[in-house]
Amino acid sequence: MKKIDILTDNDFETFFDRQGLFTRNQLEEHLKLYNGYVERSNEYMYRYNSAKSGLALIGVKERFYIKNKETYDLDSLILHDLFIENLANPNQQENYMPEKLCGIFEESFGTVNNWGIDFKEAAKLSKGWALFVYEPLSDTYRNIILESHNEGIIIGAKILLVFDAYEHAYFIDFGANKKEYIEKFMQNINWEVVEGRL
């Protein structure tokens, strides 16, 4: 199995330069948390794999803990990557919502504005993540919430837009004003990235 790499200072500068939502202090907290998830993911992978030949030596509770944390930490890494990726680049001269996305919002929610209202409500309600996804079983576009990294995702859904609703994501920059954070996020979505995920 491949070991996951932690983010370096150079990685941080790349992330910082390509987004316009967070200050340096806030994004540094993201980096610390992200690297913590990386280290734990690698640790759990090592602990479980090193004991595969003798699983009886590991208690059931510890096995459950490791396997649960495996999805918790990996999902966190994936969601954080998608979140940072769908933030608008401040150097991007044009960042218009593509016609294809406008059509999807209108067909699925009535109007683009209705989609925005519904997504912001999901972001407000969630303590973890708010996602805009395509769910193939019902052939439906949905705004959903995840109360935890590995709790609430629809299996098989294609993730198109990610919003980090955890308090640690915004508290340094926005304090308890989650509404302002949500509004600023909505103004800093990289629509080209979102369209590319369709």
Domain that residue 119 falls in = 99-196
> CA-CA distance, 75 to 82, in Å (whole number)?
11
In a domain, residue 145? The reply is yes
pLDDT number for residue 7:
65
Instruction: Tell whether 76 and 104 lie within a shared domain.
Output: no
From CA 77, how far away is CA 117, in angstroms rounded? 27
Which pair of structure tokens corresponds to residue 79? Answer: 């969601």
Q: Is residue 160 part of a domain?
A: yes
In a shared domain, residues 18 and 107? no
35 in the same domain as 122: no
Residues 68 and 147 in one domain: no
- Check if the beta carbon of residue 79 is closer than 8 Å to that of residue 162: yes
Q: Is residue 70 located within the same domain as residue 112?
A: no
Domain count, the chain: 2
Do the domain assignments include residue 55?
Answer: yes
Q: Indicate if 80 and 15 belong to the same structural domain.
A: yes
Say whether both 81 and 106 belong to one domain. no
- Is residue 180 domain-shared with residue 120, that is, in the same domain? yes
User: So what's the pLDDT on residue 68?
Assistant: 80
Report yes or no on 94 lying in a domain.
no
> In the predicted model, what is the mean pLDDT of residues 71-99?
85
Are residues 120 and 54 part of one domain?
no
Domain's final residue, options 85, 108, 123: 85
- Amino acid in position 55: L
pLDDT at 52: 57
47/128 same-domain check: no
Looking at residue 119, its pLDDT comes to 98
Residue 145: partners with Cβ closer than 8 Å, 6 or more residues away: 122, 125, 126, 128, 129, 130, 131, 152, 165
Residue 92 lies in a domain: no
Query: Domain with 147 in it: what CATH number?
Result: 3.55.40.20
Per-residue buried b or exposed e for 99-116, using 16+ beta carbons within 10 Å of the residue's own CB: eebeebbeebbeeeeebe
66, part of any domain? yes
Q: Structure pTM?
A: 0.85
Q: Are residues 176 and 117 in the same domain?
A: yes
Summarize pLDDT for 24-48 with one digit per residue, the tens.
Answer: 888 888 788 888 888 887 777 776 6
* Co-location of 65 and 122 in the same domain: no
More confident position, 19 or 127: 127
